[in-house]
Amino acid sequence: MQIIKSNKTQFEYDIQAILKSFYPEWEPHMLAPDSQIRDRRILEGEPVMELIFGEKEVTLAFSNNLHTVYTWHPEEEEGTPAYKNAFKRFFYRSLCRETGRTLPWGNLTGIRPTKIAMTMREQGDSREEIAAYLREMHLVSEEKTKLAIEIAEREQEILSALHYENGYSLYVGIPFCPTTCLYCSFTSYPISAWKKRVGEYLTALGREIEETALLFRDKILDTVYIGGGTPTSLSAEQLDWLLKKLRGAFDFGTVQEFTVEAGRADSITEDKLRVLYENGVTRISVNPQTMKQETLDLIGRRHTVEQVEEAFHLARRIGFTNINMDMILGLPGETAADVAHTIEAIQALSPDELTVHSLAVKRASKLGRWIEENGATAYNNTDEIMEIAARGAADMDMVPYYLYRQKNMSGNFENVGYARRDKYGIYNILINEEKQTILALGAGAITKGVFPDDRIERCENVKDVGQYIERIDEMIERKRRLL
């Protein structure tokens, strides 16, 4: 636990996010006059740094007696975006001097880099103006600036063929998995423990499908995405019922992409894949995360590398022509050589898409506790490892088409989707760039309403499966109020 003392309660999220990027092993806590803190360890602890905000300047003093000062410019009035951005640059540069390191994405926190580039392009800014803004305002590296702009340009081209302003996309959550992975923080319950109530869950989900379809009967449905959890944790019969229920309630005549996350190899069978294919699913994921068996065992994915390969080949034989594979960089104990091995194994399968995740440590995951026991150095991601993955995707004739970042990502990197030029995952762009209303059904699903005045509002379904079943009428009513 590290304490940051401040004379004002402001920028707490940004301070903590930037600190965690430099010091992933830290658990920073702000101690300010208005802080609501009950933990005596924070109240009585020695701060590792102190921030003093003044009318004309801000000072950052480290516990080793080093300190840095920034003098506010006239246009940087307190409460303005200029004031906040100036502070973030000052705080970031101070930590660069303290640690001798820079971060790939500079001081960017809480905003998608491609969204900045996309918005500026829509406003008529040139590639050079966008690059200058990212580098000067947020201190983003030249390499990541180029990546963000390239992806924003590609996203605009892909979205130009959609009804994204007047249409919507549909997400359906299946919150069950064979087991819970070490790093997972999604709404997920072991299917073995919930088998007796899966039928109740699907009945409630069926009601939500019927009622919300009526709200959208006059709108164009562009994409459908069934995620989780692991949707293929359901039986073939349950999957068939769900897919037919969706197709009967919603108008699929305009759907350009229908995705189901097959995900875990230990949940994939031939009869399930046939059900998906025969019900018009056009895109699936078969996600190894790594092709190193020791790591699969460690992170709780109870399947073998051979099962991943068998599931992929089976999907190809059945007829799927758009298969995504996920991998995670920075998994505990993995080296650059391990990542190179995973890439080579994936290249041998030749998927149509590759989603490269940089490990994000979530408080709700078992990984947080594992790191406490084994130390932050037990997981690591580097420029070299990111480059191995990017080069591997390029060798498969894939280009980057979407990007997003999360809190507490290993190495301060990013998640990137790569795809062959006619296999882009459209839903991934729509959800990340917040360009379209996403109607989300199921336990833990978050509906996101995107309105013509650029307003974005959300309503959440409860995460607990039992509560979702019991309160399904409330979940439906929440959507009526929002939409």
Residue 426 lies in a domain: yes
The answer to whether residues 213 and 250 touch, using CB atoms and an 8 Å cutoff, is: yes
pLDDT at 466: 95
Residue 368 banded pLDDT, cuts 50, 70, 90: low
| Strand partners of residue 71 | 57
Is residue 177 over pLDDT 90? Answer: no
Residues 59, 195, single domain; the answer is no
Residue 341 lies in a domain: yes
Residues 123, 216, single domain; the answer is no
Cβ contacts of 30 within 8 Å, gap of 6 or more:
4, 6, 9, 12, 15, 16
Q: What is the mean pLDDT of residues 335-356?
A: 97
Residues 32, 131, single domain; the answer is no
The answer to whether residues 28 and 37 touch, using CB atoms and an 8 Å cutoff, is: no
Q: Which of 91, 121, 152 is the last residue of a domain?
A: 152
Residues 132, 257, single domain; the answer is no
Residues 119, 200, single domain; the answer is no
pLDDT at 377: 55
DSSP letters spanning 147-214: HHHHHHHHHHHHHTTS-TTTEEEEEEEE-EESS--TT--SS-EEHHHHGGGHHHHHHHHHHHHHHHHH
Residue 56 banded pLDDT, cuts 50, 70, 90: very high
Cβ contacts of 309 within 8 Å, gap of 6 or more:
345, 349
Q: What value does the mean pLDDT of the chain take?
A: 91
First and final C-alpha spacing in the chain: 43
Residues 96, 116, single domain; the answer is no
The answer to whether residues 333 and 381 touch, using CB atoms and an 8 Å cutoff, is: no
Angle at 140 between CA 139 and CA 145, to 5 degrees: 140
Q: What is the mean pLDDT of residues 433-459?
A: 93
Residues 308, 325, single domain; the answer is yes
For the record, the structure tokens of 53 come out as 């905000």
Longest pairwise C-alpha distance within the chain = 69
pTM for the full model? Answer: 0.90
Residues 258, 390, single domain; the answer is yes
pLDDT at 44: 75
Lowest mean pLDDT among 216-225, 236-245, 404-413: 404-413
Report the relative pairing of strands 67-71 and 415-419 from DSSP bridges.
unpaired
Is residue 262 over pLDDT 60? Answer: yes
Residue 136 lies in a domain: yes
Residues 207, 353, single domain; the answer is yes
pLDDT at 352: 98
Give the span between the Cα atoms of 244 and 238, in whole angstroms.
10
Residue 187 banded pLDDT, cuts 50, 70, 90: low
- Number of structural domains found in the chain: 3
Is residue 186 over pLDDT 80? Answer: no
Residues 170, 76, single domain; the answer is no
Identity of residue 439: L
Percentage of the chain beyond pLDDT 70 is: 94
Q: What is the mean pLDDT of residues 248-255?
A: 96
pLDDT at 359: 85
pLDDT at 361: 66
Percentage of the chain beyond pLDDT 90 is: 72
Domain housing 336: 161-475
Strands (E), 246-339: 257-263, 283-286, 323-329
Residue predicted with more confidence, 409 or 447: 447
Residues 329, 187, single domain; the answer is yes
Residues 178, 148, single domain; the answer is no
pLDDT at 189: 74
For residue 368, give Cα distances in angstroms to 145, 165, 177, 415: 31, 39, 20, 20
pLDDT at 139: 97
| Residue with the two structure tokens 């919930």 | 194
Lowest mean pLDDT among 111-115, 169-173, 216-220, 235-239: 111-115
Is residue 247 over pLDDT 70? Answer: yes
Residue 181 lies in a domain: yes
Residue 483 lies in a domain: no
Residue 9 banded pLDDT, cuts 50, 70, 90: confident
